[in-house]
């Protein structure tokens, strides 16, 4: 693989012409040894001296300008996926402080997620009460919208492994629903609608669109095992309120990322495997893949008219969105816009006009006009490719794009380890033949190999053009070493001026794929629960007791600093114990924990919250149940005894 030169001032404005499409040999290298070589080369280069200065900076920025001093609060929340940790993370900007990890698809013994009965019910259990899945892979978090901007109600996140969608309440920043999508594997891209296209009175997200990346036999019951040509993928529309799938659409190819239009009319997904290949060489065999657009109103009309089928045990109606079934544009449910080979990432500009689809294996971004796709659906333009209005060469390995409010797009270049800033209108002019159009206006080095990049409020019509985050896949020499696994590097870039300025490195634990930067005034959290939210609450310390029903025992318990409602409780060997704990403290942040040695019980109860656990007691003896969460000067004394009789 050719080594990429340090960008010079001339390269800032002219993309080297030699960077054409990567040839097949280079592509093979990219997917295997070549990519790791590229990474290694980068490392030795950076080890030979100090960390590279930011190419786009004229002088070192005044970092103090961005400092958040002790006692000050940050300007933005960033909600970040946690990758194969299965969680969602909340950090804040510009400081980069990590405030919270929200367990979603994973087990977390601080909060008791996956341990308490309530969380297990959300995660899903087998008939015997054990968790159905306790692994997850979160890639994309997106909050709910009202009229094109965040409404602070929910956020949605995917689980790529098991094909599940989770909803997180933003007032408590806790997961409250998880749904497994039928007939889906590799659920990757996710995006809520930005306004409801059918019922204008609701005027907010009522749907979340979920793309599946892995094509499978349908249903996946043992048929067509080794016949990948018969496998296919489904895009699923999930209802925000019920979290049930409303419908699914069969598409050609594999879906990667999802973007939704601001008018609620279209959903699109970039596809890197239109070949339907099962190995990577097959997935790179054609020169062009596609960005598929779904016409939401037409699909919902087709469903209403009963033009649907079902797959296997699923009752969810499915429509046929394949090319073969949608040759007449004026009735088509889908439109496949050809884009250069193996694109990654698709994002819509805050003015709602353009989708930027990144080239990945092509050094280009493809700009698709929303209006032109609508024109295709009306039969006004014949070739879907005519919806492409620009295809600027921007650098090697473009993955994801983000926007400011001044007409610029910022694309991550994985192979170049850079962010490139380019002008949308100039790119359109250049595509029309204007040789003087200045498309690329700035580049900045990031450290190293960026994946997603995102701007403050950039996925909304309120994009403010202040900050860009580059979530880099490799940090190498940027932090003190912590063993073989390095943290990732989330870099904060000031994009408010002409030149991008790198202003902060934040280490992040593997592995954020995507984040969303939300203005702090949008998020309104509650600090205390209401006891009435919990039907099983133990409403008074006087209600503390042990109730027996055969071998099933229920322990009713309260907590109030620095004591539990019972100093001891008795059960018998062989019992199945359900313990319900209500925290009676009303003071903000006065959380208690509850742990039982040798029984895998560990969870917290926040002020006025109730949680329960169910477990077997098999060994007679004394078990000190203790508070795990520092709550009071007498926190260590906050204990109770579980006495298990022989």
Q: Does 142 bind ligand K7E (CB under 6 A)?
A: no
Rounded distance, CA 640 to CA 563, Å? Answer: 8
Residue 139: name its binding partner from Ca ion, ligand K7E, ligand CUA, none (Cβ under 5 to 8 Å by kind): ligand K7E
Task: Compute the CA torsion angle 457, 337, 220, 319 (nearest 10 deg).
Answer: 90
Which residue, 313, 322, 186, is CA-closest to 256?
186
Hunting for tokens 């209403």 — which residue is that? 304
Q: How far is CA 638 from CA 238, 426, 643, in A?
A: 45, 67, 17
First to last CA, the chain: 70
Shortest distance, position 204 Cβ to ligand K7E, whole Å: 24
In the list Ca ion, ligand CUA, ligand K7E, none, the entry touching 514 (Cβ below 5 to 8 angstroms by class) is ligand K7E
Q: Which string of x and - marks every residue 417-446 that binds Ca ion (by CB under 5 A)?
A: ------------------------------
Q: Are 570 and 547 in contact (CB under 8 A)?
A: no
| Closest CB 216 distance from Ca ion, rounded Å | 18
Could you say whether residue 451 binds ligand K7E (CB under 6 A)?
yes
Structure tokens at 10: 């001339």
Q: Is 464 in the site for Ca ion (CB under 5 A)?
A: no
Strand, coil or helix: 567: coil
Candidates 191-199, 408-416, 613-621, 632-640; binding stretch for ligand CUA (CB under 6 A): 632-640
Q: How many CB atoms lie within 10 A of CB 178?
A: 23
Q: Within 250-309, which residues bind ligand K7E (CB under 6 A)? A: 257
Angle between helices 24-31 and 33-47 (to 10 degrees): 70
User: Could you tell me which of 540, 642, 535 has the C-alpha nearest to residue 597?
Assistant: 642
Residue of 399, 561, 595, 644 that binds ligand CUA (CB under 6 A): 561
Which of 579, 636, 623 is CA-nearest to residue 605?
Answer: 579
What's the CA gap between 129 and 407, in Å, rounded? 53
By the rule CB under 6 A, 452 interacts with ligand K7E: yes
> Count of alpha carbons within 13 Å of 311, Cβ hemisphere only?
23
- Do residues 384 and 339 make contact, with C-beta atoms less than 8 angstroms apart? no
| 344 interface partner picked from Ca ion, ligand K7E, ligand CUA, none, CB below 5 to 8 A per type | ligand K7E
Rounded to whole angstroms, the Cα distance separating 492 from 485 reads 22
Given the complex with ligand K7E, which of 258 and 299 has the nearer CB atom?
258
Complex with ligand K7E: residue 182 or 345, whichever CB lies closer = 345
Q: How far is CA 318 from its chain centroid? A: 25
Q: Counting contacts by CB under 6 A, is residue 188 touching ligand K7E?
A: yes
Copy the structure tokens of residue 369. 């006009």
Q: How far is the CB of 172 from ligand CUA (least distance, A)?
A: 20
**In angstroms, what is the minimal distance from the CB of 348 to ligand K7E?**
15
CB of 277 to Ca ion, least distance (A): 7
What is the distance between the alpha carbons of residues 224 and 215, in angstroms, rounded to a whole number?
12
Residue among 235 and 631 whose Cβ is closer to ligand CUA: 631
Write the CA distances from 10 to 397, 441, 443, 498, 562, integer angstroms: 20, 10, 11, 16, 68
Nearest to 60 by CA among 45, 50, 69: 50
Tell which positions 587-606 bind ligand CUA, by CB under 6 A.
Answer: 592
User: Does 182 help bind ligand K7E (rule: CB under 6 A)?
Assistant: no
Question: Is 488 among the residues that bind ligand K7E (CB under 6 A)?
Answer: no
Quick count: other Cβ atoms within 10 Å of Cβ 351? 14
Looking up tokens 């103090």, which residue turns up?
Answer: 64
* Cβ-proximal residues to 513 (8 Å cutoff; 6+ apart), any chain: 81, 83, 138, 139, 140, 451, 452, 471
- Identify which range of 29-37, 252-260, 359-367, 628-636 contacts ligand CUA by CB under 6 A: 628-636
Residue 195 binds to ligand CUA (criterion: CB under 6 A): no
Binding residues for Ca ion, how many (CB under 5 A)?
3
Q: Which is nearer to ligand K7E, 341 or 372 (CB)?
A: 341
630 near ligand CUA, rule: CB under 6 A:
yes
Which of the choices ligand K7E, Ca ion, ligand CUA, none does residue 631 contact, using the CB cut-off of 5 to 8 A by kind?
A: ligand CUA
**CA gap 98, 71 in Å, rounded:** 16
User: Does residue 581 interact with ligand CUA by CB under 6 A?
Assistant: no
Residue 455 binds to Ca ion (criterion: CB under 5 A):
no
Closer CB to ligand K7E, 400 or 611, in the complex: 400
Q: Is 372 in the site for ligand K7E (CB under 6 A)?
A: no
Asked if 514 touches ligand K7E (CB under 6 A), the answer is yes
> Site map for Ca ion, 275-304, x if CB under 5 A?
--------x-----x---------------
The correct pick among 268, 399, 627, 642 for binding ligand CUA (CB under 6 A) is: 627
Q: How far is the CB of 29 from Ca ion (least distance, A)?
A: 17
Query: Which residue blocks in 263-351 are alpha helix, DSSP H?
Result: 280-283, 296-304
Of ligand CUA, ligand K7E, Ca ion, none, which one sits near residue 342, judging by CB under 5 to 8 A according to partner kind?
A: Ca ion
Q: Is 585 in the site for Ca ion (CB under 5 A)?
A: no
Q: Which of 149, 342, 362, 582 binds Ca ion (CB under 5 A)?
A: 342
Residues 435-494 that bind ligand CUA (CB under 6 A): none
Complex with ligand K7E: residue 404 or 514, whichever CB lies closer: 514
Strand ranges of the sheet holding 245-251, from the earlier edge strand across to the other edge: 185-192, 207-214, 233-239, 245-251, 318-320
Work out which of 298, 513, 584, 599 binds ligand K7E, going by CB under 6 A: 513
Collapsing DSSP to helix, strand or coil, 568 comes out as strand
Positive or negative torsion for Cα 367, 254, 162, 316: positive
Cβ closest to Ca ion, residue 289 vs residue 505: 289
> Are 553 and 628 contacting, i.e. CB atoms less than 8 angstroms apart?
no
**In the complex, which residues of this chain contact ligand CUA (CB under 6 A)?**
561, 592, 627, 629-632, 635, 638
Binding stretches for ligand K7E (CB under 6 A): 139-140, 188, 257, 344-345, 399-400, 451-452, 513-514
Site of interaction with Ca ion (CB under 5 A): 283, 289, 342
């Amino acid at each position: 693989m050719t080594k990429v030169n340090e960008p010079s001032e001339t390269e800032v404005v002219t993309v080297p012409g030699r960077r054409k499409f990567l040839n097949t040999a280079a592509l093979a290298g990219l997917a295997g040894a070549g990519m790791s070589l590229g990474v290694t080369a980068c490392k030795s280069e950076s080890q030979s001296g100090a960390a590279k200065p930011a190419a786009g900076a004229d002088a070192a920025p005044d970092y103090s300008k961005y400092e958040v001093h002790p006692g000050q609060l940050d300007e933005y929340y960033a909600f970040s996926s946690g990758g194969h940790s299965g969680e969602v993370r909340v950090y804040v900007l510009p400081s980069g402080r990590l405030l919270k990890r929200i367990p979603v698809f994973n087990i977390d013994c601080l909060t008791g997620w996956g341990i308490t009965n309530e969380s297990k019910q959300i995660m899903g259990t087998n008939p015997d009460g054990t968790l159905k899945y306790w692994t997850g892979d979160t890639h994309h978090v997106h909050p709910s919208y009202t009229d094109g901007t965040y409404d602070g109600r929910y956020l949605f996140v995917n689980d790529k492994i098991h094909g599940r969608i989770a909803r997180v309440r933003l007032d408590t920043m806790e997961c409250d629903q998880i749904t497994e999508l039928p007939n889906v594997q590799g659920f990757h891209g996710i995006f809520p609608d930005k306004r409801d296209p059918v019922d204008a009175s609701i005027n907010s997200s009522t749907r979340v669109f979920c793309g599946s990346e892995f094509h499978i036999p349908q249903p996946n019951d043992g048929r067509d095992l080794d016949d990948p040509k018969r496998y296919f993928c489904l895009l699923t529309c999930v209802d925000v309120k019920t979290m049930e799938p409303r419908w699914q659409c069969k598409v050609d190819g594999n879906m990667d990322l999802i973007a939704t239009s601001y008018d609620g009319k279209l959903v699109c997904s970039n596809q890197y495997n239109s070949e339907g290949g099962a190995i990577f060489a097959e997935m790179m065999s054609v020169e062009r893949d596609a960005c598929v657009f779904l016409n939401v109103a037409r699909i919902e009309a087709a469903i209403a008219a009963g033009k649907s089928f079902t797959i296997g045990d699923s009752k969810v109606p499915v429509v046929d969105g394949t090319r073969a079934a949608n040759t007449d544009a004026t009735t088509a449910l889908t439109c496949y816009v050809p884009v250069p080979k193996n694109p990654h990432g698709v994002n819509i500009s805050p003015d709602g006009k353009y989708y930027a689809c990144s080239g990945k294996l092509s050094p280009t971004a493809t700009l698709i006009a929303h209006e032109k796709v609508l024109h295709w659906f009306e039969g006004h333009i014949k070739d879907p490719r005519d919806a492409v209005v620009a295809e600027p060469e921007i650098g090697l390995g473009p993955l994801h794009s983000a926007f400011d409010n001044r007409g610029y797009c910022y694309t991550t270049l994985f192979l170049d380890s850079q962010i490139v800033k380019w002008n949308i209108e100039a790119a359109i002019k250049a595509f029309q033949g204007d040789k003087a159009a200045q498309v690329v206006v700035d580049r900045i080095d990031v450290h190293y190999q960026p994946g997603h990049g995102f701007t403050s409020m950039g996925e909304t019509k309120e994009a403010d053009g202040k900050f860009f985050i580059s979530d880099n896949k490799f940090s190498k020499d940027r932090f003190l070493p912590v063993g073989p696994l390095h943290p990732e590097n989330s870099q904060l870039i000031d994009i408010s001026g002409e030149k991008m300025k790198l202003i902060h490195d934040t280490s992040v634990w593997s592995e954020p794929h995507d984040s969303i930067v939300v203005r702090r005034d949008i998020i309104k959290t509650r600090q205390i629960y209401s006891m009435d939210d919990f039907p099983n609450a133990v409403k008074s310390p006087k209600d503390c007791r042990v109730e027996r029903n055969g071998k099933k025992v229920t322990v009713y318990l309260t907590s109030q600093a620095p004591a539990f409602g019972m100093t001891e409780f008795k059960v018998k060997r062989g019992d199945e114990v359900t313990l319900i704990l209500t925290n009676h403290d009303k003071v903000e942040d006065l959380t208690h924990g509850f742990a039982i040695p040798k029984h895998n019980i560990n969870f917290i109860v926040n002020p006025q919250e109730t949680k329960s656990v169910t477990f077997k007691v098999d060994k007679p003896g004394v078990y000190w149940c203790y508070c795990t969460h520092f709550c009071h000067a007498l926190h260590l004394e906050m204990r109770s005894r579980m006495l298990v009789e022989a």
